[in-house]
Chains A and B, each alone.
Chain A
Amino acid sequence: MEGLVLGFMYALIALGYTMVYGVLEFINFAHSEIFIIGAFVGVEVLLLLQASGDLAAWQPVLLVLFVLAGGMLLSGLSALGLERIAYRPLRGAPRLVPLISAIGASFFLQDFIRLVESLWRNTFYLTYPTIGFLEKPIPLATNLDVPVKSFLVIATALAMLLGLYFLVNRTRMGTAIRAVAQDPETAALMGINVNRMIGLTFFVGGAMGGAAGVLFGLHYSLINPYSGFIPGLKAFTAAVLGGIGNLPGAVLGGLVLGLMEAMAASYLSIFTGGTFGAEYKDVFAFAVLILILIFRPRGLMGEAVREGA
C-alpha cells in the first residue's frame, strides 16, 4: 500500500519531467522545487484557515480540492515563470547550458522558499495541520488499516492522470503540444504558437507537480524547502525508467519505482539478515537510476531513437 502511494506520487512528479523532456529534450532540474512549492502553498492555505478558525467548518473533500487547486495553480505559474526567465533565453544553446541554468534555478528556489517562509513565519520547517477525516483508518483486511489519506493520494493521482490523458490526446491543445514535441519548426509553420505551447507544457507539468506536492504534504505532514530534492530525483528516475518523453511510461515507472522502494524498505533487512536496513532505500533507488541510465536509457517503454550523425 505504501508502495502504491509512493508510486502514484512519483508518477505525478515524473509527468512534469517527462512532458518537458518530450517537448524540449531538456531535464527540468528545478521541477523538484516546483513540486515542493505546491506543498508549501498547501500548508500555507491550511495554516491560514486554521488561524482564522475556519478549518473545522470546511467540508473535508471541498477543503482538499481547494488546497489542491491552490497548489496546482501556484506551482504551474512558477513553472511558467521559470521557463520564461531561466530557460527561454537559452533555447538553442548547447545542451548543457540550460541544464546548468536549471540546476541554478533549483538551488535558487530552495533558498528562496526558505527566505520567504523565514521572513513570514520565522521558520521554514512547516507541519500540515491534521485533518481528522484524512487520518481515519479504513480496515482493508484483518491487521491492515489504511488511512483515508492514502486513498486520497491514489484517487487524486488517478483523476489527474486521466485528466492529463484526456487533455493531451483528445483536445486541440494536446494535439498542438504533441506537434511541437515532434517537430517544433514544422509546428510553427502550421501556425502553432510554439512558445505558448512550451509555456503550457511547463504549466501543466508544474501543476501536476504542485498537486503531488500538496498530496506529499497531506500524507507526510512535515516539509521543508529541501525536501523536494530527493523525491524529485527519484521521480526523474521513474520518468527514465518508463522511457523519458513517454506519458504512460512515466506512470508505469513511478509505480514500479514506488513499489520496489517500499519492498526494499521492508525486505532488505530480512534478506540480508539485518545487515542492511531501510536506510539503504535511497541507495537502492539511486542504484536503479544509475543502472537504468547506463544499460537501458530508453527505459521500459521508450522507443528506439535514431541517432543523427
Chain B
Amino acid sequence: MEEPLLEIEGLTKRFGGLVALSDVHLRLRSRTIAALIGPNGAGKTTLFNILAGLYRPDHGEIRFGGRSLVGLKPHEIVAAGVARTFQNIRLFGHMTALENVLIGMHAHLDEGFWDIVARRRAFSRAESESEARAIELIRRVGLDGQERRAARELSYGEQRRLELARALAAKPRLLLLDEPTAGMSSAESHSLMRLLQELVQDSVETLFIIEHNMRMVLGIAETVAVLDYGQKIAEGSPDEIVNHPRVIEAYLGRREWKPYA
C-alpha cells in the first residue's frame, strides 16, 4: 500500500473527566475525499482542533507526509500543509473578502519587515502577485466582484465559500472542512460538492470533511469514518458504512431521545 498522507495513531484527548477522543486510529490516502461523521458531541471537531494544533493530544501520534504534527503551533501546521474551515464560520468580519483570502496566504507570503517599511520592490511584487492569486481564488469559489466587500456583509452561503477560498489560499495538501454545507440550500451544496471534487483533481491532495448531510457524504466521499463517544466505531466505503450495524445503532439508537441528531 502507498504511504498515507495522514496517519493518526492512538489519539486520546480528555477534558477533565470527559474523554473526548479515545485511542483513535485513522489513515487518509492521497487524492481522496474522506468524510468524518458521527452524532453530536462524538469528538469530530475535537479531532479537527487537534489536527490544527489548537489542542495538544494526551496520547497518540499524528504523522503528516511522514512528519509528526504533535506539538507544532497552529501556524506551523498550516505551513506544513494543513488548512481548515470552521463549523461556525470564523471569518475576519471587518476585513474585506480580499484581505481575508490574503490572510490565508500569510504562511507563504515572504514579506520582510524592512522590505515593507522601505517599500522595496520585493515587497510590491509579492503583494501584487498574491493579490492576483487571491482574486483568482475568490473567482474560483464563485464570489467574483465581491473582493472589496467586508466579510460580514456577505450572505451566509457566500461566507462559507469565502472561508473555503481563505483556506485554499494556504496551498494546503490536506484540507479540513467542518460542515461545509451547513445552512446551505440544496442547490448551493450541490455546486459546492462539484467544486470540492474539482479541487481534489487539481489543487488539494486530500479533503477531510465533517458532514451531517448524508446525501453529500454518500455523493462525494470515497471513505467514511464514524466517531461515537470519542471512539472510531467504523470505517469503510459509504456503502459499507450505511449498512454497518454499529453505525445504525449509534444513529438510530438515539432517535427516541435526540430526534435532531
Which residues of A line the B interface, CB within 8 A? 304, 306, 309
Q: Is B92 an interface position by the 8 A CB rule? A: no
Q: Is B15 an interface position by the 8 A CB rule? A: yes
Q: Is B54 an interface position by the 8 A CB rule? A: yes
Closest Cβ of chain B: how far from A33's Cβ, in Å?
A: 34
B55 touches A306 (CB 8 A): no
Residue interface mask B129-165, A partner, CB < 8 A = 1: 0000000000000000000000000000000000000
B55 touches A309 (CB 8 A): yes
Q: Which residues in chain B, 4-56, are within 8 Å of chain A measured between CB atoms?
A: 15-16, 45, 49, 54-55
User: With a CB–CB cut-off of 8 A, which chain B residues contact A306?
Assistant: 15-16
Closest Cβ of chain A: how far from B96's Cβ, in Å?
A: 20
A-B contact count (CB 8 A): 7
**With A and B bound together, what is the CA distance between A265 and B52 in angstroms?**
49
User: With a CB–CB cut-off of 8 A, which chain A residues contact B49?
Assistant: 309
* Chain B residues with a Cβ closer than 8 Å to the other chain, count: 6
Closest Cβ of chain B: how far from A52's Cβ, in Å?
A: 61
User: With a CB–CB cut-off of 8 A, which chain A residues contact B55?
Assistant: 309
Can you list 7 contacts pairing A with B, beta carbon distance less than 8 Å?
A304-B16, A306-B15, A306-B16, A309-B45, A309-B49, A309-B54, A309-B55
Closest Cβ of chain B: how far from A198's Cβ, in Å?
A: 27
**With A and B bound together, what is the CA distance between A309 and B52 in angstroms?**
11
**With A and B bound together, what is the CA distance between A309 and B16 in angstroms?**
16
Q: Which residues in chain B, 101-135, are within 8 Å of chain A measured between CB atoms?
A: none
Closest Cβ of chain A: how far from B223's Cβ, in Å?
A: 26
**With A and B bound together, what is the CA distance between A309 and B45 in angstroms?**
10
Closest 7 CB pairs of A and B: A309-B49, A309-B54, A306-B15, A306-B16, A304-B16, A309-B55, A309-B45
Residue interface mask B48-70, A partner, CB < 8 A = 1: 01000011000000000000000
User: With a CB–CB cut-off of 8 A, which chain B residues contact A304?
Assistant: 16
**With A and B bound together, what is the CA distance between A253 and B45 in angstroms?**
38
User: With a CB–CB cut-off of 8 A, which chain A residues contact B16?
Assistant: 304, 306
Chain B residue with the shortest CB-CB distance to A304: B16
**With A and B bound together, what is the CA distance between A193 and B55 in angstroms?**
37
**With A and B bound together, what is the CA distance between A306 and B16 in angstroms?**
8
**With A and B bound together, what is the CA distance between A309 and B47 in angstroms?**
12
Closest Cβ of chain B: how far from A305's Cβ, in Å?
A: 10
Closest Cβ of chain B: how far from A96's Cβ, in Å?
A: 15
Chain A residue with the shortest CB-CB distance to B87: A309
**With A and B bound together, what is the CA distance between A105 and B200 in angstroms?**
56
**With A and B bound together, what is the CA distance between A158 and B45 in angstroms?**
48
Closest Cβ of chain A: how far from B16's Cβ, in Å?
A: 7
User: With a CB–CB cut-off of 8 A, which chain A residues contact B45?
Assistant: 309
Closest Cβ of chain B: how far from A302's Cβ, in Å?
A: 14
User: With a CB–CB cut-off of 8 A, which chain A residues contact B15?
Assistant: 306
User: With a CB–CB cut-off of 8 A, which chain B residues contact A309?
Assistant: 45, 49, 54-55
**With A and B bound together, what is the CA distance between A304 and B16 in angstroms?**
8
**With A and B bound together, what is the CA distance between A45 and B158 in angstroms?**
65
